[in-house]
């Protein structure tokens, strides 16, 4: 089976923040495929599994707080029949260095300053972990990055968010069915214009 891990922080006060977009991509997948996510203390988070495109898939939201996300991932890998992490594990998270709504799939690499992914890579002792980055853009001048990621999406972004979450769920489905290379070819942008401008001008 395969495992998709969406990163975020537990609790209603964080539910609509930029930093929890990984949770929201998982919620989109769960609704689309009728997978119920429920608290699982053994896996240190909320978990559910089902069939996605003919692939048995687990969906995991770590509830360990962002900077200890690796604890939940290790617990899941210890209990679930996940094969090769380079092909059967996908981590979904927010990224300050991509414009809002931009998607970027990668098979490996560093954490790029993201504490959740960094903890996962450190605990696994490897960098070849596929990931889907969901762009949240940079904070405006004078706004602390911590306050920015823990704040809600701007109104303009919120109006487009469901569309971008659906596209991210499409990217996850492509990864599960066809692998990381197919997802990269289909969803990584050839250009770097902001999706807000592109969609707003359509």
User: DSSP readout, the chain?
Assistant: -EEEEE----SGGGTTBGGGHHHHHHHHHHHHHTPPPEEEGGGTEEEEEEEETTEEEEEEEE-S-GGGHHHHHHHHHHHS----HHHHEEEEEEETTS-TT-EEEESS---TT-HHHHHHHHHHT-S---EEEEE--PPPTT--HHHHHTSBPPHHHHHHHHHHHHHHHHHHHHHHHH-HHHHHHHHS-SS---HHHHHHT-
pLDDT at position 194 is 41
pLDDT at position 191 is 52
Instruction: Per residue of the chain (202 residues), give pLDDT as tens.
Output: 999 999 999 999 999 999 999 999 999 999 999 999 999 999 999 999 999 999 999 999 999 999 999 999 999 999 999 999 999 999 999 999 999 999 999 999 999 999 999 999 999 999 999 999 999 999 999 999 999 999 999 999 999 999 999 999 999 999 999 999 999 999 998 654 444 433 333 2
The model's pTM: 0.92
Domain residue extents for the chain: 2-200
pLDDT at position 189 is 81
Q: Which CATH class is domain 2-200?
A: alpha beta
19 is catalytic: yes
Q: List the catalytic residue out of 19, 46, 133, 164.
A: 19
């Amino acid at each position: 089976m395969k495992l998709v891990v969406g990163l975020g922080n537990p609790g209603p006060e964080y539910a609509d923040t930029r930093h929890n977009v990984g949770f929201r991509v998982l919620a989109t997948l769960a609704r689309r495929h009728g997978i119920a996510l429920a608290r699982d203390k053994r896996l240190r988070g909320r978990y559910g599994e089902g069939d996605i495109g003919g692939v048995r898939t687990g969906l995991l939201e770590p509830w360990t707080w962002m900077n200890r996300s690796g604890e939940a991932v290790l617990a899941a890998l210890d209990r679930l029949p996940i094969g090769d992490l380079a092909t059967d594990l996908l981590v979904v998270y927010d990224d300050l260095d991509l414009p809002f709504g931009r998607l970027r799939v990668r098979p490996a690499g560093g954490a790029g300053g993201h504490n959740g992914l960094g903890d996962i890579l450190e605990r696994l002792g490897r960098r070849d972990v596929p990931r889907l980055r969901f762009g949240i853009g940079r904070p405006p001048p004078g706004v602390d990055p911590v306050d920015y990621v823990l704040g809600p999406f701007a109104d303009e972004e919120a109006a487009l968010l469901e569309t971008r979450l659906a596209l991210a769920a499409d990217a996850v489905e492509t990864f599960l069915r066809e692998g990381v290379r197919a997802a990269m070819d289909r969803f990584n942008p050839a250009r770097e214009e902001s999706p807000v401008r592109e969609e707003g001008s359509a």
